[in-house]
A and B are shown apart, each in its own frame.
Chain A
Amino acid sequence: MNEKLLLDHDVYRTNRAKYYPDDLLSYENEWVAWNLDASRMVAHHRDALELWRILDEAGIDSESVNLEWIPPGGEVDCQL
């Protein structure tokens, strides 16, 4: 494991929380790859394997991104 690629959960949390559902509407039902501090969306695609193909082609280390699926509406009000 590359020690430089550790995810700082406090920083990630702060940056990820800056996104409103409206900000994510255009990514609903898609997979997004965040950089390791969630300050930037590196790539996105409806098909996760296609997303990985894009990341691989761009030469992006799989350890340098964190994936998340964006639900319809950008976020759910209540997760059960």
Chain B
Amino acid sequence: MTLRFPYQNYRPAHPIAPLAGRMFRPRPVFSVTLIGSLGSTAQDALLDTGADDTVFPEWVAQRIGLDLTHSPVSFASGLPQGSVPVRYARVTLRIADMNERREWKAWVGFTPAPIRFPVLGFTGFLEYFTAIFHGKREEVELTVNGRYPGT
């Protein structure tokens, strides 16, 4: 089975010249739920093949009951703030479309830096899926691979 996520369309303030003046920015953004001992939170996240890790805002960890005090830390670059700390924890992630639901445990990073979207990078996310990006119909398909550890 394959999960299917249409790209989200976001309206910028100005027409997009390289897209022939189109008024929408299509982005592979979809809702991802993080689940912890104190609860869950669903948030729009960006599927990013250029990102090494899967990273969410730090408040999510607090909300779902993760203690990051003794978590491994690294420093990530690529944000306007420059190098920012990322603390890692094992957490349950869930994605779903109208036909299929997937839930798995993985390492997720949490950062105090403000980010437009959480990023779904290789570690924790793309390592577990075969992803097909359909540029023409602006949709991404995800199929679990042999490394997928969840249900």
Q: Is the CB of B41 within 8 A of A16?
A: no
Task: Tell me whether B12 and A9 are in contact (CB under 8 A).
Answer: no
Contact A17 B11 (CB under 8 A): yes
Are A75 and B41 in contact, with the CB atoms below 8 A? Answer: no
- Beyond A8-B98, A79-B25, is A52–B10 a contact (Cβ under 8 Å)? no
Whether B59 lies near A49 (C-beta < 8 A) is yes
Give chain A residues whose Cβ lies under 8 Å from the Cβ of B5. 9
Are A71 and B116 in contact (CB-based, < 8 A)?
yes
Contact A76 B8 (CB under 8 A): no
Where chain B touches its partner, the secondary structure class is strand
* Interface assignment of B115: CB less than 8 Å from any CB of chain A: yes
State whether A77 and B97 are in contact (beta carbons under 8 Å apart), knowing that A16-B8, A52-B41 are contacts in the complex: no
A-B contact pairs, 5 of them (CB 8 A): A9-B4, A9-B6, A12-B31, A47-B59, A67-B41
Interface, chain A (partner B; CB < 8 A)? 1, 6-10, 12-13, 16-17, 19-22, 29, 47-49, 52, 62-63, 65-69, 71, 73-79
Chain B interface (Cβ < 8 Å from any Cβ of A): 4-14, 16, 24-25, 27, 30-31, 33, 39-44, 46, 57, 59-60, 62-63, 94, 96-98, 101, 114-117
Q: A13-B6, A13-B8, A73-B13 are in contact. List 9 more A-B contacts (CB 8 A).
A: A6-B96, A16-B8, A16-B9, A17-B9, A48-B63, A52-B41, A62-B39, A69-B116, A71-B116
